[in-house]
Structure 1
């Protein structure tokens, strides 16, 4: 619900409008990590550093620049075997990074080569669109049009006319996204920004607009 059902101070008409713009994804973000366990912390760091360099070399051979690879996490922790008897295995160093890929045709081969180069954790693949700002602007324009159309229907039914706009409130896109999912069933084929599907990306927008009213 995007507002109270009761009207505390009557002043006009307040309506909610939402819209969604679909686009084919043109980039993917691969979230992978390499973890190495060694008896000493320095050895774990060195083994992980070597693995990261191998992965970067593989990416360069695919034509992916270093600027498209960002390190998101570097961890060092004690590793234990909790079997019948607790046993210290060493120090585990983990380097996690995000690879931004703009040639989706290379996705499968890049992922396979990265794993073969030593990435032993794959956290997922996220599809996205590079023109999200422009698509969001289109969705917002359409959301305003949807709100006005709804307000005109209410005004006609109530035998009044719409006056000037007196209030505009942006609605968080995550709220609109969840609303679309709940009405369309959600799931893996959903319409949220960045859903894990290569078919389409839906960029949503919502707005609450207040109109003054003129007697009919």
Structure 2
């Protein structure tokens, strides 16, 4: 949109977008344990014991203690027909950060091997250092903005002047979640796109 400043300087602001791909090198595994028992105390104790086994198994699979995070701790009744309680459900969830993707399948199998209390909820992949991809995305976004500004300047019959403002917006696309996992399937991180939107203001020379 063209704007006229108090000093009669005409300017234009354009938007450019750019993207670049990067290979994920980190996997976040959402897992946990779930137990049902006749009493709340029994369910909670069993879930806590199963969660300790899960944490120990993940540690044995190479997950460092600082890469384990509790994500859920719940206890509640289940009703056969309210208010009659049929059982109590206790659950504890954990997020494990896998920094060696070559061990991803092994870590997943380790969770499944904990026992019938184990639950696999999904996985997500990340790029631990996205700066190289973001740099390329910024360059592409700025080039697009510059090309658009030059086009508008040509249409207006005015020479394009200096850059007077720049602002950036990072766009984080949704991370795909794997909802089903089988032992025979290999985990495939694929590629992740980094998106940048830049607003660039240019002055029009007289």
TM-score, length of structure 1 as denominator length: 0.77
Tell me the CA shift for residue 26 of structure 1. 0.7
Matched, 1:156 2:154: yes
| Partner residue of 1:103 out of 81, 84, 100 | 100
The 5 Å alignment of 1:119-130 reads 120-130=118-128
Instruction: Note the alpha carbon deviations across 1:121-172, whole angstroms, 9 max, x for none.
Output: 3221111111124533442343223211221232234332222222323335
- Supply the distance in 2 between the matched residues of 1:193 and 1:44 (Cα, whole angstroms): 35
**Mean alpha-carbon deviation: is it higher for 163-172 or for 125-134?**
163-172
- Supply the distance in 1 between the matched residues of 2:32 and 2:122 (Cα, whole angstroms): 11
Structure (1 or 2) with the greater helix fraction: 1
Matched, 1:142 2:140: yes
What residue in structure 1 maps to residue 203 of structure 2? 212
Structure 1 unpaired stretches of 5+: 1-6, 175-191
What residue in structure 1 maps to residue 73 of structure 2? 74
- Supply the distance in 1 between the matched residues of 2:48 and 2:108 (Cα, whole angstroms): 19
What residue in structure 2 maps to residue 51 of structure 1? 50
TM-score, length of structure 2 as denominator length: 0.80
| Partner residue of 1:112 out of 90, 109, 112 | 109
**Mean alpha-carbon deviation: is it higher for 15-24 or for 133-142?**
133-142
CA contact (8 A) 2:61 2:106 kept: no
What residue in structure 1 maps to residue 182 of structure 2? none
Task: Give the superposed CA RMSD.
Answer: 2.4
- Supply the distance in 1 between the matched residues of 2:79 and 2:30 (Cα, whole angstroms): 25
Tell me the CA shift for residue 194 of structure 1. 3.0
- Supply the distance in 2 between the matched residues of 1:13 and 1:36 (Cα, whole angstroms): 62
What residue in structure 2 maps to residue 36 of structure 1? 35
Matched, 1:94 2:75: no
- Given the superposition, is the C-alpha separation of residues 137 and 65 from structure 1 closer, same or farther in structure 2, using an over 3 Å criterion? same
Instruction: Note the alpha carbon deviations across 1:81-124, whole angstroms, 9 max, x for none.
Output: 46xx9752222111111111112122222212202204543221
What residue in structure 2 maps to residue 60 of structure 1? 59
